[in-house]
Amino acid sequence: MNCIAKLLVRPRTYRFLIQERFYAANAGTKENIEKLAKSDKVVVFMKGVPEQPMCGFSNAVVQILRMHGVEDYSSHNVLEDDDLRQGVKDYTDWPTIPQIFFNGEFVGGCDIMLQMHQNGDLVEELQKLGIRSALLDSPQEETKS
């Protein structure tokens, strides 16, 4: 039996394969990336997951968020889906991962997060999101006041 005849005999299997590829192909669409980016106050597209980052830059972003007490955020592992990885890069016109969004707005990558952390802008941006940075409660901040 040739390939076409097999598909005709088992059309449901063929339809399933088409649907599976269709959904996988949609992971990196502009609409899907936008939906994911707006799904939470803080969204991180990263390599790995917060519990096990798979690159140093993704780990740095996770650690910065932890230092500020931000534990409740959405993360998306771009290593699980090449279309998602390329899609988020195309969406932001930013070539590297991780990528961070606040309220659906692209913030930047690891370097931008580190800079914002170092100059205090991250505390202010988190406050705009209704998130109080844990660094405001640290003994170092109290002695500066």
Residue 88 pLDDT more than 90? yes
Split at pLDDT 50, 70, 90, the class of 14 is very low
What are the sequence ranges of the domains in the chain? 6-144
For 52-74, how does the pLDDT look when each residue is reduced to its tens digit (9 = 90+)?
A: 999 999 999 999 999 999 999 99
pTM of the model: 0.77
- Listed in sequence order, the residues at least 6 apart from 9 whose beta carbon sits closer than 8 Å to its beta carbon are 1
pLDDT value at position 140? 59
What is the residue-wise DSSP string for 45-61?
A: EESEETTEESSHHHHHH
Contact 44, 61 (CB under 8 A): yes
Fold of 6-144: Glutaredoxin (3.40.30)
Identify which has the larger pLDDT, 145 or 42: 42
The strands making up 99-102's β-sheet, listed across from edge to edge, are 74-77, 42-46, 99-102, 105-108
Q: Is 107 helix (H, G, I), strand (E, B) or coil?
A: strand
Mean pLDDT value across residues 22-30: 65
